[in-house]
Amino acid sequence: MTSNLNLGSKIPISEIEGDISEASGISGFLDDDLTKLSKAGKEAVFNGITVDLSSGVSISNNGAMPFDGWARVTVNSWGEGGVLNGADGRINNVLVVAVVTGCNGSGNNAAAWVPVKQGDVFTATFQGSNRGASCTLYPYKNQQEEA
């Protein structure tokens, strides 16, 4: 069955012959649960997403990431006399985590883990005077093995 295709037109499903997996030759290559992936393959995937917590590097405000890995961005704020205090942490100017405190004696802390690439930039912004933020970069587990 053939069809004339004009840009922007749609092809009805009934006109598509065969199956994509048959056409590509990859049918059954990997199951959804990755049971056909070898042990070495599974370890490579796992090591590629696992954090090496033994070698964290502190990233200063407006600092660039020296390597790919997981960044742990932490912010905190403490209340004082009804003054609004707050802090937020961003990667490439995208908000990752933020806290605000306005009540005397109260405090808020928050942290988030985000994957980052070499060259991504951590920034922190503050409101009030009783607040803080930090960023620690951890390599992927396999980066230590390759070095």
| Coil vs helix vs strand at 59 | strand
Angle, vertex CA 38, rays to CA 37 and CA 41, nearest 5: 80
Domains of the chain, first to last = 13-147 (2.60.120)
Task: Indicate the residue type of 43.
Answer: E
Query: Can you give the pLDDT at residue 81?
Result: 72
Q: What is the band of 21 on the pLDDT scale with cuts at 50, 70, 90?
A: very low
Residue 4, pLDDT above cutoff 50: yes
Q: What pTM did the predictor assign? A: 0.65
User: Which of 140, 73, 76 is CA-nearest to residue 111?
Assistant: 73
Taking residues 99-103, what's their average pLDDT?
A: 84
What is the 3 state secondary structure string of 61-118?
CCEECCCCEEEEEEEEEECECCECEEEEEEECCEEEEEEEECCCCCEEEEEEEEEECC
Residues facing residue 110 across a β-bridge: 75
Tens-place pLDDT, residues 127-140: 988 899 999 999 98
Residues facing residue 83 across a β-bridge: 80
Q: What is the band of 7 on the pLDDT scale with cuts at 50, 70, 90?
A: low
Tens-place pLDDT, residues 31-85: 556 667 778 877 777 776 777 788 899 999 999 999 999 999 999 998 877 778 8
For 110, residues 6+ apart whose C-beta sits below 8 A from its C-beta are 74, 75, 76, 97, 98, 99
| Coil vs helix vs strand at 137 | strand
Among the ranges given (12-21, 71-80, 85-94), the one the predictor scored with the smallest mean pLDDT:
12-21
